[in-house]
Amino acid sequence: SYEIFIQILDELNAAYNRIYGERVGLTDEEFRKLNRNDPKEKELYDRARSGIPKAISIAEPSSQGG
């Protein structure tokens, strides 16, 4: 169901934020609140995400299998 999909999507996003935060010594909440307009906070944000892009697509698949 759609509710389960949203719940799983939220869990995936939370997991990424926990990982990103841990990489720079922040909690997931602190990571989410980083101000990317502030150069120092943007550097933390970029360093946390370096090498681990969040690539979650919610688009319908164009073909089956594969």
pTM here?
0.79
- CA neighbor of 24 nearest in space, from 44, 52, 42: 44
* Spatial separation of the C-alpha atoms in residues 9 and 12, rounded to whole Å: 5
Check if the beta carbon of residue 6 is closer than 8 Å to that of residue 30: no
* Spatial separation of the C-alpha atoms in residues 10 and 2, rounded to whole Å: 12
**Within 10 A of 18 (CB to CB), how many other CB atoms are there?**
15
* Spatial separation of the C-alpha atoms in residues 4 and 26, rounded to whole Å: 29
At 21-36, the pLDDT tens digits run 999 999 999 999 999 9
Q: How confident is the model at residue 61 (pLDDT cuts 50, 70, 90)?
A: low
Domain ranges in the chain are 2-49
Question: What's the DSSP call for residue 33?
Answer: T
